[in-house]
Amino acid sequence: MAWEEGLPVLTFKAPEARLMPQSQPEHLEDAERITLTEFPDMRRLGVRTPMAFGVYVTSHGKRVRARAAELSTTGVVLDFRHSEECSTDGLVTLELFVPGQPRPIRTAARFARRVGKLLAFEFMIIGRDDRLSLAEHIDHVHAARIERLK
């Protein structure tokens, strides 16, 4: 509990925050890397699914390319291992090149957390149709994975 002008102000920290590493050695193989899906679902609003598609991130007038590593209807985890990282202060514009979509899905997002070169973003402004398109794509990917396991 903190105090502000004589009044108590409650402050909360997510219990998993102490478990999350702030960085990882660059020499790790993909299979050895920690991803955000390995942490408890306590803060997660949507089902997160591993993905691999291109994303453009625009922040402060600078546009960089990244790769989506995980996707949910509420946010995306981007992999910047093979590109320059974007600025994480304020809102960023994301253009998600989701496979099977006729056009990129554009959204405004805020930086949520980092694990090594993976940066998680929460969608702040996204159209209903675009969010539905993401949900349908996630369902399609889940169904394909289940079919492969049979």
**Residue 46: what pLDDT?**
66
> What is the domain range of residue 91?
2-149
**Domains contained in the chain, number:** 1
Q: What pLDDT shows up at residue 14?
A: 38
Residue-level pLDDT, tens digit, the chain, 150 residues: 444 444 443 333 333 333 333 333 344 454 544 455 554 444 445 678 999 999 999 999 999 999 999 999 999 999 998 888 888 889 999 999 999 999 999 999 999 999 888 999 999 999 999 999 999 999 999 889 889 888
Tens-digit pLDDT profile for residues 2-25: 444 444 433 333 333 333 333 333
Specify whether the CB–CB gap between 62 and 87 falls below 8 A.
yes
Residue holding tokens 């598609």?
A: 53
Q: Are 67 and 95 in contact (CB under 8 A)?
A: no
Check which CATH number belongs to the domain holding 35 and give it: 2.40.10.220
What φ, ψ does residue 13 adopt, rounded to 5°? -125, 140
Helix (H) or strand (E) holding 68: strand 62-71
> What percent of the chain lies above the pLDDT cut of 90?
53
